[in-house]
Structure 1
Amino acid sequence: MKALTRATAATTALAALLALTACSSKAKDDGADGDKGAGGVKTGDGVTSETIDLGVLTDMTGVYATLGKSVTQAQQLYVDQTNADGGICGRKLKLTVRDHGYDPQKAVAAYTELEPKVLGFAQFIGSPFVAAVEQRVDANKGLVLPQAWSANLLGSPYVRVVGSTYDLETINAIDFLMKEKGLKKGDKLGHVYFEGDYGESALKGSKHMADEAGLTVVEQKIKPTDNDMTAQVSALKKAGVKAVVVSAGPRQAASLVGVAAAGRFDVPVIGNNSAFAPQLLATQSGPALMKNYYVASPTLPIGADTAEAEKLVADYRKAHPKDSLDNGVVAGWTAASVFGEALKAACDKKDLTREGVGKALLTLDDFDAGFGVTQNFSDPKAPSSKESVILQPDKKATGGMKVVRQPGAAEAAQGYTAGG
């Protein structure tokens, strides 16, 4: 996961781009999606009698490049296997991929380019970028399954978060620290977080849990271009924190844990789901990560002991023998599977229009792609799950992560409204 463009300029850049592109973005009324295709199925944008075209807005060259590559390859694997089995509704699936490199200008431009050509988006990396086009998504009605878990994305019938949002995930992470890693009432908890939707959504969770459990949060806001966490570790050590949450990228998490270990600051650190990549285990920070680092995840890891996970590992290795396995594979496969199930349900209703697929997703209230967490999409105002799995880096485990706590939601998470 490599460097990205300056996030501090993202809001301004996105606002300017939206002003320029808004006039070219046309809302499509129901009449535009009324053609009858093969088998008497109603079709519209991105759907022909032979194909269903889905968009992918990913990061192959920016801060989440490792994630983007894994997610995209897993989704292509899903498409290839589905097509080999005959496709969906008598049609072959097709992915049209654009790499935005976690650049706000490229992300919005890529959405503007692909939106008229595809049924929806099986992937869109970057909470702020998704949020920037959310009103257009609602007008155009093309389903978006973001690889982003900001609570700010909730509420749209066409932007649907797969798994627990960052605030819920952080509540579950802190619950783990308190129940199993010695954090207790009256302690100080450090939180290092990216400015913007991701970090600030996670911060809501830590503040909520602090109020519930009698903790004090010591904040350290960083930019995605900040890669050396020496100053942050020094500040947290001086403040006397007993544990740390990190809501940033893998590079920042590795620096934080490595610097803390070098300075004999021996406290547990737990990251949100996008704050780890198994490639880090081969770096100097590897031993410290295996000792003191944990990750909250929306699903079981790629190395889970389930039949579905074992099959995905075998199939992915066959398709990409030179690439590492990581939880991006699980995230990509799960999102593609969710979109596929929505397409199947829409086909049953003979309505493969954008609006028809959106309505079909609402009927999925008990879906598990084989990774331990049931997803419920019946309420657009809620994430599909409140549960998290707690993982720990482990070189010996398939995908570099082992389970240290099975899927579950903390009591504080169960009574919490995401985004609240």
Structure 2
Amino acid sequence: MNTGTPHAPRTARAYAARTAAGALAALLVLSGCSSKAEGGTDGAGGRTAAGGVRTGDGVSGKTLTLGALTDMTGVYATLGKSVTQAQQLYVRQLNAEGGVCGYKVALAVRDHGYDPQRAVAAYTELEPEVLGFAQFIGSPFVAAVRQRIDGGDKGLVLPQGWAHSLLGSPYVRVVGSTYDVETINAIDFLVKEKGIGRGDRIGHVYFEGDYGESALEGSRHMARVSGLTVVEQKVKPTDNDMTAQVAALRKAGVKAIVVSAGPRQAASLVGVAAAGGFDVPVIGNNSAFAPQLLATQAAPALARNYYVASPSLPIGADTPQARKLVADYRKAYPKDTLDNGVVAGWTAASVFGEALRRACADKDLTREGVDRALLAMDAYDTGFGVRQDFGDPDAPSSKESVILRPDKAVTGGMKVVREPGASAVAEEYTPGA
């Protein structure tokens, strides 16, 4: 794994630019630095266990512990539940197969409710006790502790967030295309399939903060390349009624809309537009849909005019891995909805699990050993259509996106309308450049 030094200037610029940085930095002061137990075994101080395998933080007795910092009660509660349960299922199956290097894997879960203070506090609590984090929901919260991660903690973090500002760290690794790349691919779909062309205006409704502003970078770049004009509408996660935004975009004469917000905002936007006869295609980032929306009054409008860009095939994909995951998840959680959060959680856990297996083969289950193992994964396929390359910390593991459409007749509520692929503009684009 590359050291943090070559990426320091870029990381500092990205960190300084983040909307939430000031407030969250104050929380870091209050929470203090991560406290390691005396005799901590990070990096070169690792212990040597039976069989000559080096171990360190997060490995104790016969147990290897991973962390999951999730949202079970906040704005992304639906996503957090699905991601966490998928990862718990993965861990149970991994342990049933013998675990890793003779160790049973445990998943320590903390719910931060999408609250910055709780997120930082939960990281501070778990960091000394875990080998790394298979889940961390909330790009701003990951950004808030990134200096600690890069500066000394060095535990691998796989965020459930795709902001391009998270790139550049050898320890924080985005799985799949970042929001800016995903948005470029989404607009490419609008151009090629929905008749959007040079000189047209497109709307972009986006959350303030890392998620929305990362996606906005993608739409601005695609607009420059394609001769489009972006009409921007910034909203907060607490803004659930998109009536004013739809009115503004209609007045501006947009021919299509990108939405980089939550499922509630997307449903409101599409529903309000349809009710007013504003018949334009709307495409969202992967965080802007939940199949539960298909049980609401917005369902007909979503099925007619809404699309979603995703970093992988959906849970209902026709692949052996997808079919097995559906069957296993339904058996484990028969009362819960299948959605793409299940895919995201399973994919991240699978990536971390493969890194653990490779680190075991290298006889180095320290944090740095796991980081090095991930760096060597340059064509990893979890069975959902996209190969992941973790060899370059400055780049997302993929630039491909899948375009989906709501369909309540399909498992998971989403069907594929464009197979995995990266547009020519996305291929040439450098996130954060």
- TM-score when scaled to structure 2? 0.93
Q: Residue 135 of structure 2: SS of its match in structure 1?
A: strand
Deviation at 1:20, TM superposition (A): 2.1
Query: Take 2:175 and 2:199, find their aligned partners in 1: how far apart are those partners?
Result: 34
8 A Cα contact 1:10 1:104, kept in partner: no
Query: Take 1:284 and 1:181, find their aligned partners in 2: how far apart are those partners?
Result: 25
8 A Cα contact 2:33 2:148, kept in partner: no
Q: Is 2:301 aligned against 1:288?
A: yes
* Map 1:152-167 → 2, pairs under 5 A: 152-167=165-180
For 1:137, the aligned partner's letter is I
Query: Take 1:167 and 1:366, find their aligned partners in 2: how far apart are those partners?
Result: 22
The equivalent of 2:164 in structure 1 is 151
Deviation at 1:51, TM superposition (A): 1.1
CA RMSD of aligned residues (A): 1.5
TM-superposition CA deviations, 1:52-103 (whole Å, max 9, x none):
1000000000010000000000000000001011111111110000000000
TM-superposition CA deviations, 1:276-324 (whole Å, max 9, x none):
0000000000010000000000000000000000000000000000000
Query: Take 1:330 and 1:24, find their aligned partners in 2: how far apart are those partners?
Result: 31
Count of residues in Structure 1 that have an aligned counterpart in Structure 2: 413
TM-superposition CA deviations, 1:5-63 (whole Å, max 9, x none):
xxx99544412111123445569785664211232110000012411100000000001
Query: Take 1:10 and 1:239, find their aligned partners in 2: how far apart are those partners?
Result: 30
TM-superposition CA deviations, 1:248-270 (whole Å, max 9, x none):
00000000000000011000000
8 A Cα contact 2:233 2:245, kept in partner: yes
Structure 2, unaligned stretches of length 5 or more? 1-17
The equivalent of 2:190 in structure 1 is 177
Give the counterpart of 2:323 among 310, 316, 325.
Answer: 310
Q: Is 2:387 aligned against 1:377?
A: no
TM-superposition CA deviations, 1:214-261 (whole Å, max 9, x none):
000000000111000000000000000000000000000000000000
Q: Residue 350 of structure 2: SS of its match in structure 1?
A: helix
Query: Take 1:157 and 1:35, find their aligned partners in 2: how far apart are those partners?
Result: 23
The equivalent of 1:15 in structure 2 is 25
Q: Residue 332 of structure 1: SS of its match in structure 2?
A: helix
1:417–1:400: structure 2 CA closer, same or farther, 3 Å change rule? Answer: same
Query: Take 1:91 and 1:117, find their aligned partners in 2: how far apart are those partners?
Result: 15
Q: Is 2:106 aligned against 1:106?
A: no
The equivalent of 2:85 in structure 1 is 73
1:26–1:93: structure 2 CA closer, same or farther, 3 Å change rule? Answer: closer
Q: Is 2:144 aligned against 1:132?
A: yes
Q: Is 2:101 aligned against 1:89?
A: yes
TM-superposition CA deviations, 1:319-355 (whole Å, max 9, x none):
0000000000000000000000000010011000001
The equivalent of 1:391 in structure 2 is 404
For 1:84, the aligned partner's letter is A
Query: Take 1:136 and 1:241, find their aligned partners in 2: how far apart are those partners?
Result: 43
For 1:14, the aligned partner's letter is L
The equivalent of 1:117 in structure 2 is 129
The equivalent of 1:5 in structure 2 is none
- TM-score when scaled to structure 1? 0.96
The equivalent of 2:421 in structure 1 is 408
Give the counterpart of 1:58 among 56, 70, 74.
Answer: 70
Query: Take 2:374 and 2:144, find their aligned partners in 1: how far apart are those partners?
Result: 23
For 2:233, the aligned partner's letter is Q
8 A Cα contact 1:100 1:106, kept in partner: yes
- Percentage of matched positions with identical amino acids: 78
Query: Take 1:222 and 1:67, find their aligned partners in 2: how far apart are those partners?
Result: 20
For 1:273, the aligned partner's letter is N
For 1:348, the aligned partner's letter is A
8 A Cα contact 1:25 1:136, kept in partner: no
